[in-house]
Amino acid sequence: MVIKVLGSGCANCKKLEENTRKATLELGIEATIEKVTDFKDIAAYGVMKTPALVVDEKVKLMGRVPSTEEIKKYL
């Protein structure tokens, strides 16, 4: 599984990455978590608000920081 956190590196983006890592650990999922900060790459996903979460090339959410429990539902 490949998970991407899209965003500029702001506090919300960092929190999304932290919550995502925690969710994968709690679920015991092996996943690669990548940070995407280039706005051209972010726009290629159709994302207009960051942070955003992409799981296996599908945008799952954007514009907010979900809880660890919510992220588990997307994984």
Which residues are the active-site residues?
10, 13
- Per-residue pLDDT of the chain in tens (75 residues, 90 and over written 9): 999 999 998 999 999 999 999 999 999 999 999 999 999 999 999 999 999 999 999 999 999 999 999 999 999
pTM here? 0.94
Cα gap 71→68, rounded to integer Å: 5
The burial of 1, by beta-carbon neighbours within 10 Å (0-12 exposed, 13-18 middle, 19 or more buried), is given as: exposed
pLDDT at site 20: 98
Nearest to 6 by CA among 70, 54, 68: 54
**Domains of the chain, start order:** 2-74 (3.40.30.10)
